[in-house]
């Protein structure tokens, strides 16, 4: 594509031109479409030439000389002579030098290409570029990595209708661009990402090429300077089967190789103080139950000794705790004892509510906490250091178990980053259905951790890429700390909420008709949101798309276990 800017029209004199917006009359030989970059030069007395760049926000066409609606039929018959006028509204984005004046009517307007386009979109000032997608005419768009990796900001939030907005696919595209480009420099090899698979088994094929990627898709990757292929380093984890007869077999259907089965041991549950994550959805008695859970965690950790005969278990009052049911029985007995220090001043109603939830948690989560039957538990501990991208499958679990797994993994990752005490190497956390874990109302252990990630993760190099159908249902502080806001197809009622106030009215209207693969991107370096599209995934997103593994591929250390 030619990098020279092309003349498309002139600044109108029949519409007010201001330093913020102006109208361009489009010549019959040219056209302007939404999101095109436009540049105009205007003379300012005593200051010389000022270059005004902007983005097309709206385009209109109308008959000039017609008065009534029915005149269009007379025009069609050749009875009424009229001219057709096309005009584009441009929102100013940049002034060079910064003299904030309107462009003068009659000044030529150009569709910005090459260096002029980079100037209009502030791309020329982005030193560390990360591919974000393509404009509709195939021009690359970049993110400023300084606002993603914590140098000047962090976090991405993606909203949109389920199944249409392709939120998770775009989050994975950003990871792919990070791990298959030179954006991260020397830190790329040690940067890690954890992705929770919450729907189907679509993310269990990231290590396979997409057999449905065509030549046009490959050309899109080439424009962005990216190779087209699968993720290069992937670890796949699925929960152990409940009915596996004591064998650690992963709960996965579509593939059998290269997937590790994860669980936690009794000792890890006690020493890590993970009990609170069994109560991540407590309702009206939330605060009392949370306090009691914290108290029980402290007593379990204090009064349980490590079992010298088994690394997976603990000893309580001289007796080994061989399974999760036995651990729950200890808690139940202590809390039912009115004189026990474990219950403190908790009312009977709080204790009973706690025990009911403990029983429910034991039923839905118990198969994920192993005791004496655990063999080589280190092989079944989710190890995000072993691969660049770690997929944690939770889609088959009950909602209570999903919350437990999500909370425990995020807690471990955040604590590890805190112990490191530095930003590099980076850790990316991709979490769909963010409204479940950081809801607008209420509190809970997972929400508290996610708030820590949103507010302190930047300094620790922990970056949250969160996605949800409705940003209006997510905790405001999580949204507010996201440097990048991405919107796919939106429900019209949701688009009217204040959380989307960063979108101009015309852009909100467009959000309700976006096609899959198209997103609206707002980033700190560009004053207005841009509609972009991202390439068709070059990695398989389901089993039927999975091509043959790359030459020399070794699935993982789980093969043959």
- Find the distance separating the first CA and the last CA of the chain, reported in whole Å: 53
For residue 268, give Cα distances in angstroms to 331, 342, 378, 419.
16, 20, 11, 18
pLDDT, position 286: 55
3-state secondary structure of 94: strand
Question: What does the pLDDT read at residue 560?
Answer: 39
With helix as H, strand as E and coil as C, how does 429-484 read?
EEECCHHHHCECCCCCHHHHHHHHHHHHHHHHCEEEEEEECCHHHECHHHHHCCCE
Strands 530-533 and 518-522: antiparallel
- 2 pLDDT tier (thresholds 50, 70, 90): low
Of the ranges 136-140, 160-164, 444-448, which one carries the lowest mean pLDDT score?
A: 160-164
What integer pLDDT is reported at residue 558 of this predicted model?
A: 40
Cα separation of 382 and 263, whole Å? Answer: 8
The CATH number, out of the four listed (1.10.3470, 3.40.190, 2.40.30, 2.60.40), of the domain defined by the range 6-125 = 2.40.30
Residue 393 token pair: 């499958």
Question: pLDDT at position 328, please?
Answer: 95
Q: Fold identical between 6-125 and 146-261+377-545?
A: no
Question: What pLDDT does 186 receive?
Answer: 87
| pLDDT above 80 for 282 | no
State the helix-helix crossing angle for 348-365 and 324-336, rounded to 10 degrees: 180
Domain 146-261+377-545 has CATH 3.40.50.300: yes
pLDDT in tens, 408-428: 999 999 999 999 888 889 999
Give the span between the Cα atoms of 546 and 205, in whole angstroms. Answer: 7
- Position 94 pLDDT exceeds 90: yes
CA distance 394 to 237: 9
Whole-number Å distance between alpha carbons of 212 and 199: 21
Q: Is the pLDDT score of 207 beyond 90?
A: yes
Check pLDDT > 70 for residue 221: yes
pLDDT at 554: 39
Q: Is the pLDDT of residue 516 over 60?
A: yes
Mean pLDDT of 179-206: 92
> Residue 285: its pLDDT value, please?
43
pLDDT at residue 535, as a whole number: 95
In the predicted model, what is the mean pLDDT of residues 77-97?
Answer: 93
Residue 548 pLDDT:
78
**Is pLDDT at 272 greater than 80 in this prediction?**
yes
Measured in residues, the chain has a length of: 561
For a pLDDT cut of 70, what percent of the chain falls above it?
Answer: 96
Query: What is the predicted pLDDT for the residue at 416?
Result: 93
Give residue-wise pLDDT tens across range 283-321.
Answer: 544 568 888 999 999 999 999 999 999 999 999 999 999
* pLDDT (tens digit per residue) in 533-561: 999 999 998 888 888 776 644 334 344 34
Q: Of all residues in the chain, what percent carry a pLDDT higher than 90?
A: 71
With cut-offs at 50, 70 and 90, classify the pLDDT of residue 253: confident
Each domain of the chain, given as residue ranges in start order, spans 6-125, 146-261+377-545, 264-370
> What distance in Å separates the CA atoms of residue 119 and residue 17, rounded to the nearest whole number?
21
Average pLDDT, integer, range 335-350: 90
Given a cut of 60, is residue 491 above it in pLDDT? yes
pLDDT of residue 421: 84
The answer to whether the peptide bond before residue 97 is cis (omega within 30 degrees of 0) is yes
Residue 367 clears pLDDT 80, i.e. is over it = yes
């Amino acid at each position: 594509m030619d990098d020279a800017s092309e003349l498309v029209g002139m600044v109108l004199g029949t519409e007010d031109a201001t330093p913020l917006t102006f109208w361009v009359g489009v010549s019959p030989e040219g056209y302007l479409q939404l999101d095109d970059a436009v540049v105009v030069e205007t003379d300012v007395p005593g200051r010389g030439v000022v270059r005004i760049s902007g983005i097309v926000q709206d385009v209109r066409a109308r008959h000039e000389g017609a008065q009534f609606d029915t005149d269009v039929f007379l025009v069609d018959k050749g009875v009424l002579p009229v001219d057709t006028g096309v005009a584009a509204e441009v929102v100013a984005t940049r002034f060079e030098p910064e003299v904030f004046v309107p462009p003068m009517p009659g000044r030529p307007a150009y569709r910005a290409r090459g260096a002029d386009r980079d100037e209009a979109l502030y791309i020329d000032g982005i030193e560390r570029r990360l591919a974000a997608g393509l404009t509709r005419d195939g021009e690359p768009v970049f993110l400023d990595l300084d606002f993603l990796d914590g140098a000047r900001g962090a976090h991405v939030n993606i909203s949109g209708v389920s199944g249409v907005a392709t939120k998770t696919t775009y989050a994975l595209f950003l990871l792919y661009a990070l791990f298959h480009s030179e954006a991260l420099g020397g830190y790329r090899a040690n940067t890690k990402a954890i992705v929770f698979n919450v729907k189907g088994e679509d993310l269990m094929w990231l290590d396979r090429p997409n057999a449905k990627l065509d030549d046009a898709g490959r050309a899109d990757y080439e424009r962005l300077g990216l190779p087209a292929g699968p993720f290069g380093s992937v670890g796949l984890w699925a929960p152990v089967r409940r009915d596996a007869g004591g064998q650690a077999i992963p709960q996965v259907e579509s593939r059998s190789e290269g997937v590790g089965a994860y669980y936690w041991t009794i000792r890890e549950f006690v020493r890590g103080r993970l009990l609170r994550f069994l109560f991540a959805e407590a309702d009206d008695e939330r605060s009392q139950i949370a306090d009691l859970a914290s108290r029980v965690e402290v007593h379990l950790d204090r009064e349980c000794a490590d079992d010298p005969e088994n690394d997976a278990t603990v000893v309580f009052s001289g007796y080994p705790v061989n399974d999760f049911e036995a651990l729950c029985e200890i808690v139940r007995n202590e809390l039912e004892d009115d004189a026990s220090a474990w219950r403190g001043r908790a009312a009977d109603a709080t204790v009973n509510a706690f025990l009911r939830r403990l029983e429910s948690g034991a039923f839905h989560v118990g198969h994920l906490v192993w005791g004496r039957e655990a063999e080589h538990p280190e092989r079944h501990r989710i190890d995000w250091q072993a691969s660049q991208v770690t997929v944690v499958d939770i889609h088959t679990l009950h909602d209570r178990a999903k919350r437990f797994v999500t909370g425990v993994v995020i807690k471990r990752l955040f604590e590890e980053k805190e112990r490191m005490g530095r930003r590099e190497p980076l850790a990316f956390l991709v979490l769909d259905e963010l409204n479940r874990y950081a809801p607008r109302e209420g509190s809970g252990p997972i929400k508290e951790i996610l708030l820590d990630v949103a507010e302190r993760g930047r300094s620790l190099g922990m970056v949250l890429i969160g996605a949800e159908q409705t940003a209006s249902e997510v905790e405001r502080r999580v949204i507010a700390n996201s440097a990048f806001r991405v919107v796919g197809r939106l429900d019209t009622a949701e688009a009217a909420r204040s959380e989307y106030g960063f979108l101009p009215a015309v852009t909100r209207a467009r959000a309700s008709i976006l096609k899959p693969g198209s997103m609206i991107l707002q980033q700190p370096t560009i004053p207005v949101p841009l509609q972009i599209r991202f390439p068709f995934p070059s990695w398989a997103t389901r089993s039927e798309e999975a091509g043959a593994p790359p030459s020399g591929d070794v699935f993982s250390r789980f093969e043959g276990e």
